[in-house]
Amino acid sequence: MYVTPEGEKVFVIDGHVHLWDARPQNRRNRYGLTFIETFWNAHNGLTPPGETMKWDRFEHLTPEIAGKDLFEDGYCDMAVMLPTYLYEFYNEGFNTTAQCAQLLEKYPDRIILNGRADPRDGEMGLDQLEKDHEKWGFKGIKIYTAEWKGVSKGYSLKDPFVPPLMEKCRQLGIKNIHIHKGPTIHPLNMDAFDVRDVDQIATEFPDLNFVIDHCGMPRVEDFCWIANQEPNVYGGLALIPSFLHTRPKYFAKMMCDLLFFVGPDRLIFGSDYAITRPKWLVEKFMAFEFDEETAQEAGTALTLEVKRKLLGLNCAKLYDIDVTRFVGNDPAAAGVDAAGAAHAAE
């Protein structure tokens, strides 16, 4: 939990966390190296001096390393695990549900473990999702439209094999669908990250929540217009706050657009751990303020109430988290005003 200099509590959920293994013995081919090298370059290019990891720690995240970075040093009360398999590049998978479950075992009250699904797997994939759900009880899943599979170099949410997966999620009571739509990563194809397939699936399944990780960056403007018209589309901010250190004006521009078009109730903080770590992100975000002109364009200043929503309360609402378990009898920190009305998105 973050506590302001004035003693105000801020509940924090890192909404985008991995536990990956990119060691040489797990790499299936050269792409296993180039993929993690893309992450490594981003880590070093975006992270302030003194906050970077060493390579051997970065390429293999153990539960002990992650627990310290998130919960001991990083102000996080909880974290959302988002599996990414990448079997075309890694023998045992890059960041599987089973790998992520190791952190759940170590911190059972602080980890939200999501599943993973690939609609190209057809009935076999739906059956596997049901088995995994029976074991772990998912409230959300991660899908990765740019992931390679055999001759397929990605897919679109408009493809006819996608709706059966959404129907299966409905059946299982899995309501939060995280979709990777962000910067391209070697050797994946940029077209498969395009955010302009989101509105169709969001309109077709209005009872599901679609969290678009990275807000479509660098296509943030496209995302803003789609999320503006689709009330069940949320912005996963992972990587956007990472520009707080190297390009604060760029960060301010993206946040201004997101707050104006999407609003403060549908944006979710994430570090994309361990591309960046939450400690410095939370500190810099809490210290960051819009100038007067930017606040006017955004329709809101970055007030403590807005920061509380983005850092934890919005995600808590999606995942039915009782925030009072962490903040105690503190109505403002729990997202409740004096009249008892919830601040987080309805």
3 within a domain of the structure (yes/no): no
> How confident is the model over 13-59, as pLDDT tens digits?
999 999 999 999 999 999 999 999 999 999 999 999 999 999 999 99
With a pLDDT cut of 70, the percent of the chain lying above it is 97
81-86: average pLDDT: 97
> How confident is the model over 272-304, as pLDDT tens digits?
999 999 999 999 999 999 999 999 999 999 999
333 within a domain of the structure (yes/no): no
Q: pLDDT confidence of 343, banded at 50, 70, 90? A: very low
| pLDDT value, residue 209 | 98
Of 87-91, 129-133, 342-346, give the lowest mean pLDDT range.
342-346
With a pLDDT cut of 90, the percent of the chain lying above it is 95
Flag whether pLDDT at 106 surpasses 90.
yes
Flag whether pLDDT at 342 surpasses 60.
no
332 within a domain of the structure (yes/no): no
| pLDDT value, residue 335 | 86
330 within a domain of the structure (yes/no): no
Flag whether pLDDT at 345 surpasses 60.
no
C-beta of residue 322 within 8 angstroms of C-beta of residue 332:
no
- Per-residue CA distances from 136 to 18, 73, 115, 133, 220 (Å): 17, 27, 8, 5, 33
344 within a domain of the structure (yes/no): no
257 within a domain of the structure (yes/no): yes
285-312 in b/e burial notation, b at 16+ Cβ within 10 A? bbeeebeeebbeebeebbeeebbbbbbb
312 within a domain of the structure (yes/no): yes
CA–CA gap between residue 31 and residue 186 (Å, rounded): 8
pTM above 0.85, yes or no: yes
Domain housing 145: 8-324
Domain count, the chain: 1
CATH of the domain at 198: 3.20.20.140
> How confident is the model over 129-164, as pLDDT tens digits?
999 999 999 999 999 999 999 999 999 999 999 999
C-beta of residue 274 within 8 angstroms of C-beta of residue 310:
no
| pLDDT value, residue 337 | 59
336 within a domain of the structure (yes/no): no
Flag whether pLDDT at 344 surpasses 90.
no
